[in-house]
Amino acid sequence: MFDFAETGDVWHTEYGAKATPFDMILDLKTINQLDKFHYLPRQDVGNGTLLKGSVCYSLDKKHWTEAGKFEWKRNSDVKEFLFKDRPDARYIKLSVTDGTGNYGSGRELYVFKVPGTESYLPGDINNDGKIDNNDLTSYTNYTGLRKGDSDFEGYISVGDINKNGLIDAYDISVVATQLEGGIDETNASPEVGGKLEISTPKRHYSKNEIIEVRVKGIDLKAINALSFALPYDQQKYEFAGVQLIHLNEMENLTYDRLHSNGNKALYPTFVNLGNKALLDGTTDLFILKFKAKQNVTFDLQIKDEILVNQRLDSK
């Protein structure tokens, strides 16, 4: 169990320490359509033989869905757990409430995907079985693409890893955190916090004036990537560029997108590739420039803001 050795060894929780209740999380490394798993107890069904608990699954290790409970007899028979709904998942969690002697143990745990289905690597948007710069390039072109856009359905929607109907800094971070040597997850801060604010020096602008929209981070904590949407009326505004102020080495993936329904939105998007300095504290980040196409009262508002840390926690 948990060492990828096929057979011949035994996993056991720490001796002399009451383990139950405890959670075991299996990372399948790819997304699979789950069929069932087999739990092989110790031959002697000694301490730690799993007896009772529940099973959950997840795509992102944060949002869990319960698949059911198990209650197994204490014998050496192979125990089978069926995923009735055959869900797609990367993570499986066994929440063990009862194990022999209050321990956990086992020989093997085999997970079966639905026969004939393909494993899918999160972020592998060009579907070549690996994560590299080609996936980043694809994501760069899809930044801000939404459910409802004509090219969203199909394989791009699979790239919407946090399933919010939008290709955003979270989805891109899944790839970006694996590039340039990746990040050291053990050192990555568990924090993620703060918010973004926009402001302009004044409210009313005449035709052809440049509107400078200052984007400020407030109380940022360990931010490794950020994005938001700024929907705008193209009769009134024309996007004219970004001036960077304080984004360290973040990659600028900002996209000025025309949606299939004719609406426009700017998607300011900044993502660290690999292990780079994080954004912390309260600071001006960048300035978005728009040209007023007529006399306007500035009325744009941030939507779909997402701040992501290196461990892919987001808010």
Asked if 257 and 267 count as a contact pair (C-beta separation under 8 A), the reply is: yes
21: cis peptide before it, omega within 30°?
Answer: yes
Nearer of residues 60 and 168 to Ca ion, judged by Cβ: 168
Give yes or no for residue 310 binding Ca ion (CB under 5 A): no
For CA atoms 65, 69, 74, 80, the dihedral sign is negative
| Closest distance of CB 227 from Ca ion, Å | 9
Nearer of residues 39 and 152 to Ca ion, judged by Cβ: 152
Q: Contact with Ca ion (CB under 5 A): which of 32, 162, 227, 269? A: 162
Nearer of residues 13 and 269 to Ca ion, judged by Cβ: 269
Dihedrals phi, psi of 156, to nearest 5 degrees: -70, -35
Q: Contact with Ca ion (CB under 5 A): which of 30, 119, 126, 200? A: 126
| Closest distance of CB 162 from Ca ion, Å | 4
Q: Contact with Ca ion (CB under 5 A): which of 83, 90, 103, 135? A: 135
Amino acid present at 291: K
Judged by CB under 5 A, the chain residues 164 through 203 that form the site for Ca ion are: 164, 166, 168, 171
| Closest distance of CB 308 from Ca ion, Å | 10
Interface stretch with Ca ion, choices 10-18, 39-47, 54-62, 119-127 (CB under 5 A): 119-127
Give yes or no for residue 108 binding Ca ion (CB under 5 A): no
Asked if 236 and 230 count as a contact pair (C-beta separation under 8 A), the reply is: no
| Closest distance of CB 265 from Ca ion, Å | 15
For residues 92 and 25, what is the distance between their CA atoms, to the nearest angstrom? Answer: 6
Q: Contact with Ca ion (CB under 5 A): which of 160, 251, 304, 313? A: 160
Give yes or no for residue 124 binding Ca ion (CB under 5 A): yes
Nearer of residues 108 and 171 to Ca ion, judged by Cβ: 171
Query: What b/e sequence results for 54-91 when a residue is b if at least 16 CB atoms lie within 10 Å of its CB, and e otherwise?
Result: bbbbbbbeeebeebeebebeeeeeebebebeeeebbbb
Nearer of residues 128 and 185 to Ca ion, judged by Cβ: 128
Interface stretch with Ca ion, choices 18-26, 116-124, 234-242, 286-294 (CB under 5 A): 116-124
| Closest distance of CB 181 from Ca ion, Å | 17
96: exposed, middle or buried (Cβ count in 10 Å: 0-12, 13-18, 19+): buried
Cβ-based neighbours of 8, under 8 Å, separated by 6 or more = none
Helices 169-176 & 133-142, crossing angle to 10 degrees? 170
For residues 230 and 161, what is the distance between their CA atoms, to the nearest angstrom? Answer: 21
Cβ-based neighbours of 235, under 8 Å, separated by 6 or more = 293, 294
Give yes or no for residue 118 binding Ca ion (CB under 5 A): no
| Closest distance of CB 166 from Ca ion, Å | 5
Nearer of residues 171 and 251 to Ca ion, judged by Cβ: 171
Query: Vertex 219, ends 246 and 251: CA angle to 5°?
Result: 35
| Closest distance of CB 133 from Ca ion, Å | 9
| Closest distance of CB 124 from Ca ion, Å | 4
For residues 158 and 167, what is the distance between their CA atoms, to the nearest angstrom? Answer: 10
Size of the site for Ca ion (CB under 5 A): 10
3-state DSSP assignment of residue 75:
coil
Positions touching Ca ion (CB under 5 A) are 124, 126, 128, 135, 160, 162, 164, 166, 168, 171
